[in-house]
Structure 1
């Protein structure tokens, strides 16, 4: 069962991070790439979003601290239907400006450092302290290759920690609407 949804850049930024949907839209505006009409829409949409939903940093100023919580990122709760609906126009904006993005879904986004009824901020499972299996039970890649010389099949669907999966190399706002309507 999907519990969390994230929309993020399909490619990392210069710092190796994958900015989320709101950061991508803000980046378009900050870099002067939006039309005047889209600038007006974006400013109003950001005002509505800020008024309606908690900014996690106002509750925990350290939730995105890269020393305490390396790689922390926000995820929407899958049942936060109104918040997910609010993201669709942002995704439409990204589509109009050809900004590639992906939709990720998971049951376990990582070590949760902030939670409210609509969202979590979590440190991804990619850090060694979050690995749940004992090292002694994991076969080494070199011993597996010696034991079985056959070529390994390649999976076409990328999966991440906690069952996270990408909806493809880039999403569309239509894909986001389908998720909200339960067509998973």
Structure 2
């Protein structure tokens, strides 16, 4: 079993990163592409995640700074993943309904760790 799991776009963005599940759904929501029910779900669930789990960028404002940590992305720790994967299922369903491709990626070594808490790591790919 791998130590880390991530849900992301299968193709990199113009910035060279594989956008994560939350970013993909947020792009749809901010662009007005979601139904009222999906938008309500997105806002409510994002708020729940914000309240339940640390935001790495509030702990270290430079964690996602592209000059300091280029291509930094977050991965769930598998030890915490079962409940996080379940909580993320609704976001994946939204992507499926809108034909937005995503993939589940697992790794024992996703990159150089620049942030870590009990649920996640933020890494810069090697």
Q: Same fold (TM over 0.5)?
A: yes
Whole-angstrom distance in 2 between the partners of 1:111 and 1:16: 16
How large is the Cα RMSD of the aligned pairs? 1.0
Aligned position for 2:9: 9
Whole-angstrom distance in 2 between the partners of 1:10 and 1:32: 23
Q: Which runs of 5+ in 2 are unaligned?
A: none
TM-score, normalisation: structure 1? 0.66
Aligned position for 1:98: 99
Aligned position for 1:42: 42
TM-score, normalisation: structure 2? 0.94
Aligned position for 1:166: none
Shift of 1:14: 2.8
More strand, by proportion:
2
Whole-angstrom distance in 2 between the partners of 1:72 and 1:53: 18
Q: Please say which structure displays the higher CA radius of gyration.
A: 1
The count of aligned residue pairs is: 125
Alignment of 1:29-178 (within 5 A): 29-80=29-80, 81-125=82-126
Whole-angstrom distance in 2 between the partners of 1:107 and 1:13: 23
Q: Which has the higher contact order (CA 8 A, sep 6+)?
A: 2
Whole-angstrom distance in 2 between the partners of 1:38 and 1:20: 18
Partner of 2:92: helix, strand, or coil?
helix
Q: Which runs of 5+ in 1 are unaligned?
A: 126-184
Partner of 2:105: helix, strand, or coil?
strand
